[in-house]
Structure 1
């Protein structure tokens, strides 16, 4: 009897001519966690959060809650990754817990939308900061073109070798962690020279929130906060290329999330200490720039643009370290086109999967930019359907960045929930499996994570119908695709035999 995928060594997969190499240590693994998460959210989301909620105690509590959720999730992901040190991360865990159809739906959503949307949103944020620094006025198609150039460049670096992508990630992560720490400390550094820049009274200021209920406020803030934390599991798709994964993956997850929580909470105290709630809300996507502008003038504004560019560039790079490994795992499993499971003979990277993910990201940015351009003068009230009106209004009012990020978090949250549940499922179904690391606090840790995430998904489903309905529709589209591909693959196998 052949071994199940759970018990196989990655190098033993049938038809695999070249294999991935275990070349990444714990420092690069932790850099992937931190570098993937620190992207655009901590800089671009505070203004939207202030408008949705309007109360600092609630805002800072949700930032802490987001960190706690990541830590609870990391306890579970560390067990799964140490037990299944294969490329693909959540795809592998879902496959073993629920079967290939469910794993395919995750890979499908990552391939079709979630990862391309993440890469695209980050590329657009980079281009936006570049335009702000140079005082450029870019149209939506112009933004898409520059974003495409950036996406292609980072993809090429990652094709050249995982160690090049890893080293680049290490350098960029050190730079942006230092910058974010400086941003968090800047009000205190300036305090001896200017007593008016930091006001404790700002923490008590409020605005009338867009969400009228406490549950709605927490749900809306958590949606934005979880974008800022999105990618905390980012080292797991690289498990097949990490040395001593049973030790290094848990260390990378816990250490990286600890750094993130400290930086994010500190940065929010800095923002709200310098700016009042109304000033942050009015700043929209540029609250961080406004804080440094108030502290340092135009020099601070330029510095923050550089910080955001560096930060988003690093997050794009980590997405290219992760996303192609999921597509690669699907191709190697034979649940999608097998060419996606190819490893480059020279560079030993999943080059085909990297190219395909880059193309998907660019096409998604281009599609959203084109939709905004074509619908810019259309009246939403001319449509009878309420859903159609919401779609048109969102495309007209929201930025490309906000449209992409909100879709990502809803769909990602569904699979985060299923993956944490997989820890319980596999403990029951396969208690015999070797677990180099076991989740601390089991079963309370996964139960607490699941309770909050189920509530969160319920809130988003009712408060953000465009994001939730579209996300569910895109996931559901994968069901006929999976069975159609399996049917065609079966026919090809019969024809070849």
Structure 2
């Protein structure tokens, strides 16, 4: 009787525990497959369908063009390996923000969150959604460019849809990412396989004398890297959700080792496919390289190309939103942004305020912006902080020796990535000076004013303004501070 009673009490206790609600904190629900899909899905977006022309125009020949694509993939992999050490050493969400905080203190971390919140992440989100809307609208306006009003309205609608999905559920966001990653791999496979078939049939004319007329100047090569690295952007996205990864010590580096080389191989093979049916001149004159390829190879089924390219871009936008919302969440949690941005939805257990705020900023960018200007702003700011982050890894090898490092890359790798980042930041300024780089630098430095006014000194009048805003937004959105955080 006593054993039966004891067994019953244990079963009742287990039943009670199984029905306990989850705590109001981010949950570990992202496994290895979803991690790989986030990397692949975020990297493969609009870039591979936009950048081939820019890379080719700067290299001037097929051979150097393919080498640049491979070198960009190698640089992205090396950068991601540096981030793998950082991500397993400092297991906090927020990516660069958390690493800069540990290495250099609050000011560089704040400047990164400031720049990411207002330049890097929303401009990237806006670029991808604008690309999605252009490919989506193109079939309805044959022979001419779609009206800008239509393009921008479609991009805004895509942003609203994506932030809604990610604010509703972490698991739903992961499922959407997996589905669209599968869809984009379909179009990649179609282009790669058909290109290899054409290559096997002897369509190699465009690869003859592939290094003739190449441009070997430092400026041209730097600009080719600049454009080639844009399609690889996203290699660091998994570090933003470290707190939500299952077994991050294993899954983070494994996802990087599988995901980025997979993307690199796909990019090289897709460029080879393009060159099997297009000469250099034809590729440079094409308005949409993948669409031109589809018209020549897949007709009458060429309509599948713009459809699947749209899937590819919307999947990349979803992955960007999924990870970038966590950066805003961490910045709010550290007190570097409004506290309400670090709050968690009571019902959905997602950083809904951060995701919604991020989407609003991206929509603002869409109104006056175009893809080229946004890419310039994004690349200049992004590679400045990528270099600063790998420098932080080097610094912490000497200043934070006590930290456990489940993954430890050779010191030469972060040194190389840091030097390449410096070159990428300076190259466009030296080769082709433009006002937008100065504006971007001024905006980054202007974050110091806001840091000292609202974060460091915390003037009373600023607190009086922020507290009622936080209270009303908290009630409106039904959000609470994450468990263990100060109210």
> When the two structures are superposed, what TM-score results if normalisation uses the length of structure 2?
0.86
Q: Does 1:217 align with 2:185?
A: no
Aligned length: 440
CA contact (8 A) 2:61 2:213 kept: no
Q: Does 1:473 align with 2:442?
A: yes
1:395-422 per-residue CA deviation (whole Å, 9 max, x = no partner) reads: xxxxx22221222111100111011111
Change (3 A) 1:48 1:321: same
Show the counterpart of 1:166.
174
In 2, Cα distance between the equivalents of 1:221 and 1:494? Answer: 47
CA contact (8 A) 1:203 1:272 kept: no
CA contact (8 A) 1:39 1:312 kept: yes
Change (3 A) 1:89 1:191: closer
- 1:458 pairs, out of 416, 419, 426, with 426
Show the counterpart of 1:445.
413
Alignment of 1:246-265 (within 5 A): 246-265=249-268
Alignment of 1:34-183 (within 5 A): 34-135=40-141, 138-183=146-191
Change (3 A) 1:106 1:298: farther
CA contact (8 A) 1:206 1:277 kept: no
Change (3 A) 1:18 1:489: farther
Cα deviation for residue 73 of structure 1 reads 0.9
Show the counterpart of 2:451.
482
The 3-state SS of whatever aligns with 1:336 is coil
The 3-state SS of whatever aligns with 2:286 is helix
Q: Does 1:234 align with 2:237?
A: yes
1:40-90 per-residue CA deviation (whole Å, 9 max, x = no partner) reads: 111111122222322112111111111111111122100110112212111
CA contact (8 A) 1:82 1:247 kept: no
CA contact (8 A) 2:63 2:210 kept: no
Alignment of 1:172-211 (within 5 A): 172-190=180-198, 198-204=203-209
Cα deviation for residue 18 of structure 1 reads 2.4
Change (3 A) 1:205 1:66: closer
> When the two structures are superposed, what TM-score results if normalisation uses the length of structure 1?
0.84
CA contact (8 A) 1:58 1:218 kept: no
1:148-176 per-residue CA deviation (whole Å, 9 max, x = no partner) reads: 11100010000111111111111111221
CA contact (8 A) 1:78 1:437 kept: yes
Cα deviation for residue 191 of structure 1 reads 6.3
The 3-state SS of whatever aligns with 1:465 is coil
The 3-state SS of whatever aligns with 2:458 is helix
Cα deviation for residue 142 of structure 1 reads 2.5
Cα deviation for residue 111 of structure 1 reads 0.7
Q: Which moved more, 1:235-244 or 1:265-274?
A: 265-274
The 3-state SS of whatever aligns with 1:21 is coil
Runs of 4+ in 1 over 4 A off after TM superposition: 205-209, 492-496
In 2, Cα distance between the equivalents of 1:470 and 1:231? Answer: 24
Change (3 A) 1:189 1:57: closer
In 2, Cα distance between the equivalents of 1:120 and 1:220? Answer: 22
CA contact (8 A) 1:123 1:150 kept: yes
Cα deviation for residue 493 of structure 1 reads 9.9
In 1, Cα distance between the equivalents of 2:462 and 2:60? Answer: 60
Cα deviation for residue 138 of structure 1 reads 3.0
Q: Does 1:283 align with 2:253?
A: no
CA contact (8 A) 1:124 1:401 kept: yes
The 3-state SS of whatever aligns with 2:345 is coil
Change (3 A) 1:298 1:132: farther
**Cα-Cα RMSD:** 2.1
Cα deviation for residue 329 of structure 1 reads 0.5
CA contact (8 A) 1:51 1:207 kept: no
1:362-416 per-residue CA deviation (whole Å, 9 max, x = no partner) reads: 0001022xxxxxxxxxxxxxxxxxxxxxxxxxxxxxxx22221222111100111
The 3-state SS of whatever aligns with 2:28 is coil
Q: Which moved more, 1:140-149 or 1:262-271?
A: 140-149
Q: Does 1:418 align with 2:420?
A: no
1:207-261 per-residue CA deviation (whole Å, 9 max, x = no partner) reads: 978xx76212211111111100001111110101011111111111111111111
Q: Does 1:343 align with 2:344?
A: yes
In 2, Cα distance between the equivalents of 1:335 and 1:492? Answer: 17
In 1, Cα distance between the equivalents of 2:147 and 2:338? Answer: 36
Alignment of 1:387-426 (within 5 A): 400-426=370-396
In 2, Cα distance between the equivalents of 1:146 and 1:208? Answer: 41
The 3-state SS of whatever aligns with 2:406 is coil
